[in-house]
Amino acid sequence: MLENSGSLTRLRNAGINRGGRWLIRGVDMDVERGQIVTLIGPNGSGKSTTAKMALGLVAPDEGNVNLRDRLCVGYVPQKVSVDWTLPLTVSRFMALTGRIPRRQIDEALAVTGVSHLRNAEVRTLSGGEFQRAMLARAIARKPDLLVLDEPVQGVDFNGEILIYELIKSIRDDLRCGVLLISHDLHVVMAATDQVVCLNGHVCCSGPPVDVASSDAYRELFGTRATPTLAVYEHTHDHAHLPDGRVRHADGTITDHCHPDDSHHHAPEISEKTGAADVG
């Protein structure tokens, strides 16, 4: 039913409940062909859970998720540990879920800069090298939908810029949809079409702003990074407390936090919110 629309995966009011607690709730999100969507949010805000829902790995407990049929997916999970008992070289790892022509493997390893590690055992790679190998594996499949869960973890700053440039060029070449999870709350890749900020629900979403237009960030990252990085400027009017309740800008505390909650976007700012974490 999605064949005519551009959405590769579509979430509508989707939520996951585990043991009576909502890990994430009320997510509306679309990833369309040729689009880059970046998910941001603090630890435990449900970014990975949302990505898994979008991939159909976990079924939503409310709302619905539509993943297009027969989609070729490339997935880079947040954490993959290869046990020492597994004899696995990088080139075999590339063909993990399906046979891939040798030329495509070579190309993918070349663009991610790990061609020299082709015959290395995966468990001997450093964190950054493995991250690049995982990215190479995902793109060698020439996916329709690329889902990257913190693809730049363990990669140094220059490498991070290169990987962001690479993701953009992959999107341009393959016209695939990209769902990217970022560990950074404010800085995202400039090519992002849509930023979705999560904290147990969708706090806000929108396009990012050029780093170049912000003096403070341009100073921080230098001119080299400015075409690649962008800033997502946002402040929240409520904070999530450790016990799961929500403290709103006016100082009131409620059990839930919903887009239709009357407390949202309350005009006045209470002093009590100062100590709370970013929400």
Q: How far is the CB of 130 from other proteins (least distance, A)?
A: 10
Complex with other proteins: residue 77 or 227, whichever CB lies closer? 77
Q: How far is the CB of 129 from other proteins (least distance, A)?
A: 8
Phi-psi category of residue 26: left, alpha or beta, with phi > 0 → left and psi -120 to 50 → alpha? left
For residue 164, give Cα distances in angstroms to 151, 167, 183.
9, 5, 13
DSSP-derived secondary structure letter, 112: T
CA 40 vs. chain centroid, Å, equals: 7
Complex with other proteins: residue 148 or 229, whichever CB lies closer? 148
Q: How far is the CB of 63 from other proteins (least distance, A)?
A: 20
* Contacting residues toward other proteins, per CB under 8 A: 52, 55-57, 72-75, 77, 80, 82-83, 85-89, 92-93, 95-98, 116-117, 119-121, 123-126, 141, 147
Complex with other proteins: residue 27 or 239, whichever CB lies closer? 27
Complex with other proteins: residue 19 or 242, whichever CB lies closer? 19
Complex with other proteins: residue 75 or 217, whichever CB lies closer? 75
Q: How far is the CB of 136 from other proteins (least distance, A)?
A: 14
Provide DSSP, 201-246.
Answer: SEEEEE--EEGGG-HHHHHHHHHHHTTTEEE-----SEEE-TTS-E
Q: How far is the CB of 117 from other proteins (least distance, A)?
A: 7
DSSP-derived secondary structure letter, 278: P
With H, G, I as helix, E, B as strand and everything else as coil, classify residue 28.
strand
Distance CA 123, CA 15 (A): 35
Residue 101's contacts (CB-CB under 8 Å, 6 or more residues apart) are none
Q: How far is the CB of 127 from other proteins (least distance, A)?
A: 9
Q: Which two tokens stand for residue 275?
A: 């100590």
Complex with other proteins: residue 120 or 212, whichever CB lies closer? 120
Are 74 and 141 in contact, with CB atoms under 8 Å apart? yes
